[in-house]
Structure 1
Amino acid sequence: MKVHQLQVGNMQNFTYVVEDEETKESVIIDPSWDLDLVIDIIEKNNLKIKYVINTHHHFDHTVGNDAMVKYTKSKIIQHKSSTLKNDIPVSNGDKILFGKSELVVIHTPGHSEDSMCLIGDGKIFSGDTLFVGNCGRIDLPGGSGRELYHSLFDVLYKLDDNLILYPGHDYGNSPYSSIGKEKKTNFVLQPRTESEFLDFMGSD
C-alpha cells in the first residue's frame, strides 16, 4: 500500500491518495483544495480511484468530494453518523477493500461525532482525531472532550506502537509519525484521568 501525502490549501490540510500497488486500484482520503495535485498523482501513476473516503464531515476535509467523484466516477464513504451526502455509510470495524488492500474503520468520536480513523498495512490515517504532537479541537458542533478522551486512550493508545501515523493536518514537527512516538512525545497522550483530560482541554 503506497501513500501519496499532499499538503493542500491554506489550513495545512493533508489529502491522501492511497494506492494498491499491485492492481493500481486506489482511494482518496479527505479531498479538499488543490485538486490538480491529486489529479496529477492519479494520472502519473495510472490509478483507478474506487472510493473517496472522508475521515469526518468538516468542510476542509470534504469540499473536494463532488469534483473528485465527477472526475473519478468513484463512490463516497463516510461514517454512518455523518450528516453529509455519501454513497456508503460505514461503522466501527468495517473493512474498505480496494485492489488487494484493505482499510479498517475505527470510530473515534470527539473532534466530531462522525470522526473515524483508517488502519491498514501498518498505517493509520487519523484525520483530526490525533495530530503529530497534538489532537483535534473539541469546541466545534458535535465535539466532545469526554468522547475524545476515550477515543485517544481506550482506542488509539492501545494500538500497535509501530503503526505509522498520517494525520489530517500538517501541524507537527514532521508530516507523519508513529503511535509509539506520539505516546512518548505528544503532550495530549500523556496519562491522565478523564476529569484531568477535560480540565486540560478546557471542557466539561
Structure 2
Amino acid sequence: MYFRQFFEPDQAAMSYLLGDPVSGQAVAIDPRPDPCQVLLLTALLAERQLDLCLILLTHTHVDRDDHLPDLYPGAQVVVGGGGRQPAGLRTVVHGERLLMGTQVLQVIATPGHTPCSVSYLWQDRIFCGDALELGGCGRVESGECDPGRLYDSVMNRLFVLPDETLVFPGHDFHGRTVSTIGEERRCNPFFAARSRDAFLSRYAMKGGPGTVARHGRAES
C-alpha cells in the first residue's frame, strides 16, 4: 500500500493519498483545490501508476469543493449526508463501505463541525477531518456547528475505536502529524474526563465556539 500525507501551511490543512498497487486504484482524502497540490498529487499518481477513483471529503465548505470534479476528471467525489452537498457528488451514510481495489474504507458519521461531517476508517487509521484535532477540538463553521453533536461524535463514534487506531486530522496547528485514539481519549484537554455539559460550558465561557476552536488548542 502507498500512503502520503500532505500539509498546506497557510491553513495548517492536512490531506491524504492512499494507493493500492495491486489494483492500481487510489483515493484522496480532503485534497486542497490549490494548483500546487493538484500538480503534486497528479504527478504522484502518474509516478506510482495509480488511477484516482475516489475523492473523499470529510465535510464541505461553500465554494471550496465545487471545482474538485473538474480538477480530477474521472474521480468520484464523495461527501456525507445531512448538510450542503454540491451538485453531482456522491452522498454516503454511516456504516457504508467504500472500495479501493482490494481495500475497504468504512464511513463513520461524525456530525458537529458541520451537519455532513464524516470520518473514514481504513485499516488501523481514522481520517477524521475537523471532527477532532490532535490535542485540540474541531474548529467551528459559522451557523453550521453544533457543539453538542460534535461532542457526541467524538465520544460515541471516535473514542470507541481501539486505542492503537492512528488519528489523522484535517488540520494541525502544533507541528504534529499523527496521534492515536488512546492518547486523545486520555490527554485531549477538550474531552478527557469532561462531561458533555462541561464541554458545552467551556465553549460558552470562551465567548462562543469560534473563540475556543479557532486554533484548535486548549486555553487555560
Q: TM-score scaled to structure 1, two decimals?
A: 0.90
Residue segments in structure 2 that go unaligned for 5+ positions in a row: 210-220
1:121 paired with 2:135, answer: no
Kindly provide the amino acid, as one letter, of the partner of residue 30 in structure 2: D
Is 96-105 or 172-181 further displaced after alignment? 172-181
Map residues 6-21 of structure 1 onto 2, 5 A cutoff: 6-8=6-8, 10-21=10-21
Q: Name the residue aligned to 2:185.
A: 183
Identify the residue that residue 99 of structure 2 maps to in structure 1. Answer: 97
| Whole-angstrom distance in 1 between the partners of 2:7 and 2:24 | 22
Is it true that 1:78 corresponds to 2:76 in the alignment? no
Instruction: Please identify, of 29-38 and 125-134, the stretch whose mean Cα deviation from structure 2 is larger.
Output: 29-38
Q: Which residues in structure 2 correspond to 1:1-204 (within 5 Å)?
A: 1-8=1-8, 10-32=10-32, 33=34, 34-58=37-61, 62=65, 65-70=68-73, 73-83=74-84, 84-202=86-204
- Secondary structure (helix, strand or coil) at the match of 2:149 reads helix
Contact kept in structure 1, 2:4 and 2:16, CA below 8 Å: yes
Larger radius of gyration: 2
Moved more, 32-41 or 49-58: 32-41
**Which amino acid letter does the alignment assign opposite residue 77 of structure 1?**
V
Matched residue type, 1:169? H
Deviates more, 1:7-16 or 1:127-136: 7-16
- Alpha-carbon distance between aligned partners in 1 of 2:140 and 2:87, rounded to the nearest angstrom: 23
Whether the 8 Å contact between 1:134 and 1:188 is mirrored in structure 2 is yes
CA 1:14–1:187: 2 relative to 1, 3 Å: same
Gapped regions of structure 1 (runs ≥ 5): none
* Counterpart residue type for residue 55 of structure 1: T
Deviates more, 1:97-106 or 1:139-148: 139-148
Distance, in Å, in 1 between the alignment partners of 2:12 and 2:128 is: 15
The number of aligned residues is: 202
RMSD: 2.0
